[in-house]
Structure 1
């Protein structure tokens, strides 16, 4: 009960509050209309012809005052209308004023294309425009109803204000009637459009059917003409190259490269021309325009790439910094340049997978030089024994990316190919030398350059072969007096072996040291200790 009473009290208070607002608004409208009447009277007084001639200053002053009063009167009238109806003039927007048409803007840029886009989207756009127009008319009808409801409150006004209110009511009734009439006509129009609309997929199928019967067929013909012309001319060129007279020509010569490049350019131009002719005789100006614009765009883009294109053309003619059959270094690895084209093959037969394809754009940044037949393409082959970083290993894999070695004992070590080359590996697989420095005591100085050298040499020839699998692996062995060192008389033992003994490199080096010690033991020759002098720093 209390809640019901509270609701009743709030409703009554709101009614009284609204009545208070309406009374204040009515008083304001009456006072505002009095101001309007006074302003009109003043303006009419100024516009009356003067009884006497006025000076220029007085005429200018009257004109200025007249403009001020006219602007003031227009503002007051607008304020009166908006206060009476409760609707701002900016909220009132007719359907014609709200319509925004960008067709002409697009058609000025590319009229045929815009026309086709408009035609393709005609049905959805019509539906959307009808919906937008319906919403605008509904809004206008609601605004008119709201304005009439508000104007009905001022029916008690008398005099000029009351008459002006009646005029506003007639105006808003006409607007409401017009909006309702347009809504009724629009509803019939939308109903007709919905009845004409077929199944959901019918417009899509109709669009595809029309496309492939008209413009789609022209497009297919143009693409087919382009492809056929290209393939036919390329096939004709290949058949020409197979003729005996042509086959005997030097295909790396400048003249032949120029003819080949000219043929490629001519093939592209003729293929494009064939497509243009098909579109021209089909009478399809839209596709013809799009194709021409595309070609012009390509030409405009190529303008900024002319210098680079010129350099690449020189490369294709075998006149650039990289030439066919020469040698270049790429990422630290040497390569032989194949036939230069859009993609050029670089080969290195010493590497597994030694073939890479490089674009002419990337190739133009490199430099090549003539290759001497004596030059090796890589310091090793798969199966070779090499010393890399002072360690012995067998090459089991070498590719453009990595080189893998098997060390003695079976451990595998992998290097990036450029890193492997930077270590300057020593290849032992052809032949190699083992050099050992060995010293005896100065007590044997009298025989150091004669007897000792001969005996070492004779014994090493006999005993070194025991370190090898076969005797013929040893080429030569020599012993020479090396130097009179601080604590010993040193000898250089130089042993040359065939590459087949490379796997025993470390064993041979250690074995020669052992043989030298055995010879000294047998002959009683003393092997000295290295003299070490220790200096003790005293207090300064």
Structure 2
């Protein structure tokens, strides 16, 4: 234990010493940054002073020229230049004051903000986070503008230096005429003035940029400060108002539940109508008291803006509640068989056709091919649907129970169970497959119980080409029909056709078409095999060859040298 205490004390001393050293280092670093910023500001102010003196001398010279001017045009031009010089002098003095104080000059002379509209105040209340995000980016936007100004003045300084370098390439004044020398001297002085101005502006902008970068707080700090400010003001008032509403509402509901539990009217088997009306009135009063409590909190907090907005929202809700009568009117119309869904018509629900049996608060729908199942839906779910009159011989479903179907994926079987939700298919051999109704319909079931056709093909050798279109089809028809009649009853074989289809790559192909009644739908696969077996037996009986796929190889003749 003593060792643990000693280690604990050592750790505490180490942490304390580290904290002290860190704070000392931070203070020293802050003092160094302040000294560096002071030196930088003084250097920028020194760069502004010659520029100010130069602009003042230039303005005095132009005033002297104004007194000597003779024409109105000259006076107007000189007055315009004097106005520009005066504005430039004010700008330089504002820069000096900003660099000396560290406060932008325009922040003191800011005009009072115009009164905000109700819409703007409403946006301030409902979207404070967005407002804080916009204010949080004001610092980075100002830094970006300063950097853009620095880039522009650097470009101007480069142009001024380039112009002065070009001026040094001209001959001396002795080699030029007096007028030419005077003009060139004026141009040189102009570009020297512009270079001095560019240097002063660059130093001032760079000092302001460094100061803004040091003073700019991070995005997280700015956002946190804005959110905390909101919750100390309107956010707190809004939270207290919501809590007052929930407290009164929950307490009222609890008291109402206790009254219902001990009320003799609610203990009856059939609750009277006036008891239901009293329950409805109690619910309305609880809502009104809860709303009044929330408004009362805003009133005592003196938040007139939120109080006004809450009053407007409540009034709009009351006005809009009148429109809620329209859906009930539509339901009444539907119950009276005057709406878009009417009894005895056909309607599609979830991709299945239904016949509208009854209309009421719960509507009944029936599909004649789905057995005795009745689909019941509340009247509100029927609103918006459309029905249409029935058409003669219109199918209700592709199949019924005990029908044999062939699906597009090759599955063949008997409908064992058929409900509005699923289909159970019994395959040969006893296995069962279950499909949801949409999946079953997507497989395009072919109902064989109403009659079907077997279409197959068969080919013989090219050695029998002479009788391929005359004797062979007749012999195949007679033989296949005889074999099919022997397998099933004659009345179930409706027709048998054999037609020459094409001359294939290695055989003469025939199309065999056999139509059957739905009574022998179960034997579809058996009958297809009977047809192929009979074709082979007829070939054996008449000596017809059955071809197989052949590949012919051509061997190239080798050159004489290789031979």
Greater Rg by CA: 1
TM-score, length-scaled by structure 2: 0.43
How does the TM-score come out when normalised to structure 1?
A: 0.45
